Structure 1
């Protein structure tokens, strides 16, 4: 029996130079493992976000430049990925996957994007392997769709637990009280210039499970105190793991799983639909990154089962 939908764009692969730091292969490896190990998932190809959907967040000039390859070379260097038609299409599909996951979460409680979490993208430029900001576009589109049938606006919480600060997301929603941005990250990690989120939790190098989980519980309690969301978008980065070469934190496998359970528990207890995306993961062994992500999906399907039981 299918319990949860997950959307992918693994058919679009970027040809990266030898030694490139971005682990493109992880998406296909993740999809293969999910198909083999979690029959409760329905894997579906992600739709491409349209120009109009992207323009809810991104400037038309930037959208056009990514689409036709005329993007400023300085911005491409910040993104860190070479332009190609596949790069442009994959970026659209990554956003489309989070949009589709949010729509499915409203119907079924939980859904996921096998990629996404591109939180370093600003309105007019990308950065840090991020082209368009999938969580920001999805949040804006869900708010617009919500207003078609509800008299009051939708409030969205973006819970970003990638090890790097969500600078693009924070900048996009600065001063917007309809979206709450929570970023919990390694203080001394990328980006060097951080943008103020609604709630930033800076963690020291070497932070371990107990300290991390206590900080997360306190952050979710603070989010609760200050904000009442109707939708949660969760960036479940694998890069806080102790085996990540870009992470600087020291979470174990058990710590990462406990982190996911705390976020899912928090949303479940409040009856909040939740869409999650994979965000970063740069394991010394790519298999470790994929394992962390498989665990997030395995835990997610357990909470999706609760949603199905609740709706009966």
Structure 2
């Protein structure tokens, strides 16, 4: 399974900053012994790719460090060249994972990403550019160019966002786009406190545990299927609904988080929907708990990637016709 990374681009954050930048390096180290993971450095998203979602003024302000200070504070990171480069590569990683999944591997991943608080014209909540939104739009363009989408409707993308915080930026970007379905399960009383309407929002109470969460997820997936027919899935597998998360306020156990992941992957597999995964949030009181949860997410993803491989290997080889 291909996993795209930009872990070498570390932001110079001030002492005591609450964003756990080291979790990406620790997760990669935790997965180092997995023989079926093929690591590839993410390429940066271009201006043209970012402009499928973001305004040119915002792209240039991030590139050159000229964003209004109030908007920079809303992102939560101080500007630096590393911040601008990492933001582009985080988008690039989700683009590359989407391409690989759609090209026949079925499952691929970005070890970071899930930056769902970024709007077209601004960022927020540790999110600079919206990687899932850019990847969704770009896959629609590229798929159509290849002729794979020779049909009466555009390629349809389902964004299944299971970060504990609502994907407000993603919801706003696709508000009037019937070719993308946004689904978000999130804490009702958590950030962002002013939410945007997704196509399907499920608000969960503080302290929500495994059974209640999984019941809500089952309902939401049924609602997605009732209202939309996707061709491709982008999955934000946030670790922050976990009971050990300091920003999450929900109470899912390790087993509950794994059951969540299995349900999403099984839902996509049963419909033979390629899936690109991003890791989104995770802010454990003990960073090791976040890494442990995310590692189990990768174990689930690998199992379903192997199913796609087995299906490809068992497919009959087309017979060549002899020359006339």
- TM-score, normalised via structure 1 length: 0.98
Give the whole-Å Cα distance in 1 for the aligned partners of 2:26 and 2:40. Answer: 16
What is the RMSD computed on CA atoms of the aligned residues?
A: 0.6
Per-residue deviation, 1:162: 0.1
Compare CA radii of gyration and give the structure with the larger one. 2
- Is 1:18 the counterpart of 2:52? The answer is no
Which residue, out of 40, 44, 51, partners 1:48? 44
Query: What is aligned with 1:151?
Result: 150
**What SS is found at the alignment partner of 2:181?**
strand
- The equivalent residue for 1:84 is 80
Give SS of 1:165's match.
coil
Counterpart-to-counterpart distance in 2, 1:288 and 1:64: 37
Q: Is the 8 A contact 1:9 1:90 kept in 2?
A: yes
SS, match of residue 111 in structure 1: strand
Q: Which of 19, 31, 39 is the aligned partner of 2:28?
A: 31
The answer (yes or no) to whether the contact 1:35–1:43 under 8 Å persists in 2 is no
Paired residues for 1:49-64 under 5 Å = 49-64=45-60
**Distance across 2 between alignment mates of 1:308 and 1:234:** 20
SS of structure 1 residue aligned to 2:266: helix
Aligned match of 1:116: 113
**SS class of match (2:182):** strand
State yes or no: 1:72 paired with 2:68. Answer: yes
Aligned mates of 1:71, 1:287 — CA distance in 2: 34
Instruction: Measure how far apart 1:39 and its partner are.
Output: 1.5
In the alignment, structure 2 segments of 5+ residues that lack a partner are 314-324
Displacement of 1:146 in angstroms is: 1.2
In the aligned structure 2, how far is the partner of 1:11 from the partner of 1:266? 34
Query: What SS is found at the alignment partner of 1:101?
Result: helix
Give CA-to-partner distance per residue, 1:212-265, whole Å, 9 cap, x none. 001001100110000000000000000000000000000000000000000000
CA distance in 2, matches of 1:265, 1:72: 44
Please name the residue that 2:213 is paired with. 212
- Distance in 2, matches of 1:216 and 1:210, equals 10
TM score, norm. by length of structure 2:
0.94
Q: Stretches of 4+ moved more than 6 A in 1?
A: none
The 10-residue stretch of structure 1 (264-273 or 12-21) with the greater mean CA deviation from structure 2? 12-21
1: CA distance between counterparts of 2:296 and 2:36?
14
Q: CA deviation at 1:292?
A: 0.8
The Cα of 1:151 is off from its aligned counterpart by 2.0
Distance (Å, rounded) in 2 between the aligned partners of 1:29 and 1:58: 31
